[in-house]
Amino acid sequence: MEEPPPDPSVGCMTTYPQSQRELPALVRHIGGIGLMLGPALQVVGTFFWRDGTQGIAAAPFTVISVAAWLVGLIAVFRALEGRVPRYTAIGLPLAVYGTVGGVAFGVQGMDEELFGVAHGEAVRLLEAYPVAGNLVFWLAGPLFPFSLFALGAVLARIRAVPVPVGLLICLGAVMFPISRIPRDPLVAHVADVLLLLPFLYLGARLMAGGLAPERSDGPSDPADPGVKPGRIRGRWAARALRATAPRS
């Protein structure tokens, strides 16, 4: 007696129409604007540096810039989640913490001018509070450019953007701390432009749906052309499928 054919749904991932796996248009547009606005405000804010410090005038640009950047980065991580889930699961919390450090440095520049404290003196005073200083500044701050560098590398590796765009993000991420540590305005302008150019492209690509998850391989479901068959993922799913296969 012949056994019934195996149920193709057993051991396979649930599949959804492509439209349900893409980001909503509103999310893509708000995220894209954030990716463009963040580095653009950073460019403007650097022109307000005075005497090697960000000061009160530049602080609002820094804070709003980081907030806009975070909105855009969250949209990018959501768009990439289906393709690099491990990276997005780890990278998003680190990016959020890094943006907190960016806000802290902006507020620090405001306080330095407000209370008439030189930047070097402010750093020296922080030495008396190592735990707070490390958590707010020296750990959170470097995570922001580190997150950008990792994002550029991942985008280039999975070809979500052209490789030169990903490399430009990495280069800008490396230049960012190099310009901020000595507070050199000329180097800061170079770093700002190196980040502005690729993020303008990335924001436009996100808004156009260019970072949408790739469709799975295989023929479409005749009942819904937007549905692709799910691929087996994981050791246990594979075992379940083998268990349903007809025996010779």
Question: Distance between CA atoms of 77 and 220, rounded to whole angstroms?
Answer: 27
- Under the banding of pLDDT at 50, 70 and 90, the label for residue 238 is very low
At residue 184, the pLDDT reads 86
Indicate whether 128 pLDDT > 50.
yes
Q: What is the residue extent of each domain of the chain?
A: 1-22+220-248, 24-207
Q: Exposed, middle or buried: residue 96 (CB in 10 Å: 0-12, 13-18, 19+)?
A: middle
3-state secondary structure string, the chain? CCCCCCCCCCCCCCCCCHHHHCCCHHHHHHHHHHHHHHHHHHHHHHCCCECCECHHHHHHHHHHHHHHHHHHHHHHHHHHCCCCHHHHHHHHHHHHHHHHHHHHHHHHHHHHHHCCCCHHHHHHHHCCCHHHHHHHHHCHHHHHHHHHHHHHHHHHHCCCCCHHHHHHHHHHHHHHHHHHCCCCHHHHHHHHHHHHHHHHHHHHHHHCCCCCCCCCCCCCECCECCCCCCCCCCHHHHHHHHHCCCCC
**Mean per-residue pLDDT, 89-103:** 94
**Mean per-residue pLDDT, 105-128:** 89
At residue 242, the pLDDT reads 53
- Under the banding of pLDDT at 50, 70 and 90, the label for residue 181 is confident
pLDDT digits (tens, 9 = 90+) for 147-163: 999 999 999 999 999 99
**Mean per-residue pLDDT, 214-222:** 43
At residue 61, the pLDDT reads 95
Indicate whether 230 pLDDT > 80.
no
Nearest to 69 by CA among 27, 93, 101, 37: 37
Percent of the chain residues topping a pLDDT of 70: 76
- Under the banding of pLDDT at 50, 70 and 90, the label for residue 50 is confident
User: What average pLDDT is seen over the chain?
Assistant: 82
At residue 100, the pLDDT reads 92
Nearest to 2 by CA among 220, 247, 171: 247
